[in-house]
Amino acid sequence: MAETEIKAEPFRFFDNREKYLLFVMTTSEKAEVAARIGREIGLIVPRPPALRLFDAGTGNGMVLSAVLREMHRRLPTVPFFVVGKEVSMEDTRLTLATLPDRLAEHPQSIVVLTNMFYAEAPTLFPRSPEFHDKVKWVDVPLKGNTSHEFFQQIHELDDHLTQGWQTASSKKTGNPVYVTPSVMVLYREDHAFALNDLIPRPTGGPQPFEYDLVLAAQPYPSKGDALRAELALTRPQTRWQRFASRPAVIKPSDSGR
């Protein structure tokens, strides 16, 4: 009887969340991505009234936090307007946990988190008419001037996160999609007057912000799904290009290259 060969499946960090978390927590992937994006910042000439950044998938916030540190080093007096898209409640919670230090070091910062789709998040408005009047908008002016005070107040946002970041499975792909489109706007109350014209507010329509930098860092498999992943990244990127002066698309692969 011929022996049946059982080939061990290769470790593919993109297959599921557990493998991906193991990969990013035991390698320098996040640091390398942040360092590569950091080199782009030196090429940006910000336009008043702020440097605007869109992160197309914050994940656990490690890359965004590192990029914000580099932005502060290079542009310590320029206001920052940051929009981050993340559908995962857990990752959004982790991203929020990175913000107290950033807001303490760079007071003139506005950080907006949303669970909307890639095509919706840059303008903070859902495309489907079904959701136009269902956006959950949370304005968070943080009191105090220390990272500890900000941490305590951000920790108390858990109820808003639990309500706004519920997900369901897409009938087409099975991927998680939002139940309620949500937006959370964080900034320091003691700088609200100076930032008044930059703080986004619900307008009942899309807001075409002109971003200076767009981050799109997504893992993809090196074989069968590479083309599909390429299209998934570049199609929305084409739409963002009309209001982004410098896009940064980072695509880590499992191929070792």
Show the 3-state SS of 142-188.
Answer: ECCCCHHHHHHHHHCCHHHHHHHCCEEECCCCCCEEECCCEEEEEEE
Least confident of 56-60, 184-188, 250-254: 250-254
User: What does the alpha-carbon distance between residue 95 and residue 102 come to, in Å, rounded to a whole number?
Assistant: 11
Who has greater pLDDT, 160 or 32?
Answer: 160
Domain boundaries, the chain: 48-250
Give me the pLDDT at residue 219, please: 58
245, 51 in Cβ contact below 8 A? no
Residue-wise pLDDT for 199-238, tens only, equals 999 999 999 898 999 988 765 544 444 444 444 444 555 4
Nearest to 157 by CA among 186, 114, 134, 193: 186
Residue 236 confidence (pLDDT):
52
The whole model's pTM is what?
A: 0.83
65-105: pLDDT as tens digits: 999 999 999 999 999 999 999 999 999 999 999 999 999 99
Q: How far apart are CA 148 and CA 155, in angstroms?
A: 11
Dmax over CA atoms of the chain, in Å, equals: 80
Residue-level pLDDT at 217:
72
pLDDT of the residue at 122 = 95
Pairwise CA distance, residues 121 & 112, whole Å: 10
Enumerate the H helices of 209-256 as residue ranges.
Answer: 226-241
